[in-house]
Amino acid sequence: MMSRIGLLALGGCILARVTNPSMIFHLLRGQSTFKLYMIKAVNEIFDMIFKHYGQSILENWTRANLLFIKAWDENPTKSLPKFLDWLLASVGLLIYGIIHSIFLCLEQVTLHVVLTSSPESIYSFLFYNNFAEIKITVFKKTTMGVQYFYGCHDSVERVQILIYLVNILLTTSKKKRDIFRYCLWVGFVEILTDHVKHFFLSRLNKDITMTTFFKFKEDLHSLQKNYAKRDPPAIASSQ
């Protein structure tokens, strides 16, 4: 676990050395609200893709690490192939961390540009972003597995947005009171959008009821308890 954190931290240090957030901020500053919405939408798509690939990369690195340790304990002189596998997996994890961090950084800078613009731009951006999310998802026929995925994705998205907003508040030197008010608007609209989305999904799909969400909660607790055993709950595997 500490090795993974160390590799990702190393990737963050490399990212900080090779990127210039100030330059990215000023490049996005002159874009229209609709272009900023499109940039954020594209970043969210790549973020979702990299999350799925990142999970496989992390699991592959963990497996290579355990195999290398086992081979070293059995016979250090014959552990070179396992070491090369571990080294290749470490490089892949490092590259993944850097690329994914770039998209996350770009998403935060985009939100920063929006929150430091005019109130009209902020409200327009919130309308574009959240209305499109509702429009894309609410009229789909879903299963319990897909609903479970939506719930987990929305929970992770809220945590990411919270981190973005805290960083924006800490790095903004002027008009902190106005920025704080806009951050509250962003959080409120995000929660409201998620509730509206799940309300329509449960209404339009008769097999999804309120008890389904309580089952999701129980399954998440079960997943947390069985994480070390890699024994996910049945609802998650039904996707």
pLDDT digits (tens, 9 = 90+) for 185-229: 988 988 888 888 888 777 777 767 667 777 777 777 777 666 555
Q: How many residues does the chain have?
A: 239
Q: Quickly state the pLDDT bin for 237 (edges 50, 70, 90).
A: very low
The one-letter code for the residue type at 89 is: A
Whether 24 has a pLDDT exceeding 70, the answer reads yes
Residue with tokens 């979702």: 48
Q: What is the pLDDT of residues 101-125, one digit of tens each?
A: 888 888 888 888 888 888 888 888 8
Full-model pTM: 0.74
* 121-178 tens-digit pLDDT: 888 888 888 887 777 777 777 777 777 777 778 888 889 899 999 988 888 877 888 8
Taking the C-alpha atoms of residue 184 and residue 239, their distance in angstroms, rounded to an integer, is 34
Question: Pick from 90, 83, 11: which is nearest to 57 by CA?
Answer: 90
For 36-79, the pLDDT digits (tens) are 888 888 888 888 888 888 888 888 888 888 888 888 888 877 77
Confidence of residue 231 (pLDDT cuts 50, 70, 90): very low
For the beta carbon of residue 91, count every other beta carbon within 10 angstroms: 12
Locate 82 and state its tokens.
């396992």
